[in-house]
């Protein structure tokens, strides 16, 4: 008759006690809402990004104007939230209309 043997390896008692303590502390924190006593909110944990300053906004507006995009709209944090009606390619339309008169079989 064959005999089955099972070998069990245990960690040191100090490590097992630390693991149990960690699990107890983790279990206590799980039921708490972020921002309550001792539990940080996600905004407190994550990196913070500074808003755009006035000089950066002015540079963005100047670049948009040069590109023919029109007036930019900025949000509360300084991010671009909209682009106004600009000239862009439409500024070349009169020249394109004139050029079509000089092209083709009748040009």
Q: Which residues pair with 72 in a beta bridge?
A: 83
pLDDT of residue 66: 82
- Please, where are the H alpha helices in 1-107? 13-30, 42-45, 54-66, 93-101
Per-residue pLDDT of 58-101, as tens digits, reads 998 888 888 878 888 888 877 888 887 666 665 666 777 888 88
Q: Which residues contact 25 (CB under 8 A, 6 or more apart)?
A: none
pLDDT of residue 37: 67
pLDDT of residue 39: 67
- Give me the chain's average pLDDT, please: 76
Count of CB atoms situated within 10 Å of the CB of 69? 16
């Amino acid at each position: 008759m064959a005999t089955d043997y099972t070998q069990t390896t245990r960690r040191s008692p100090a490590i097992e006690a630390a693991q149990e303590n960690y699990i107890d502390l983790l279990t206590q924190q799980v039921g708490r809402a972020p921002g309550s006593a001792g539990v940080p909110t996600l905004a407190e944990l994550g990196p913070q990004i500074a808003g755009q300053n006035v000089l950066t906004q002015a540079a963005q507006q100047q670049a948009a104007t040069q590109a023919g995009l029109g007036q930019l709209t900025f949000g509360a944090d300084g991010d671009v939230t909209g682009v106004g009606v600009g000239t862009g390619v439409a500024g070349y339309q009169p020249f394109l209309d004139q050029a079509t008169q000089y092209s083709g079989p009748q040009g």
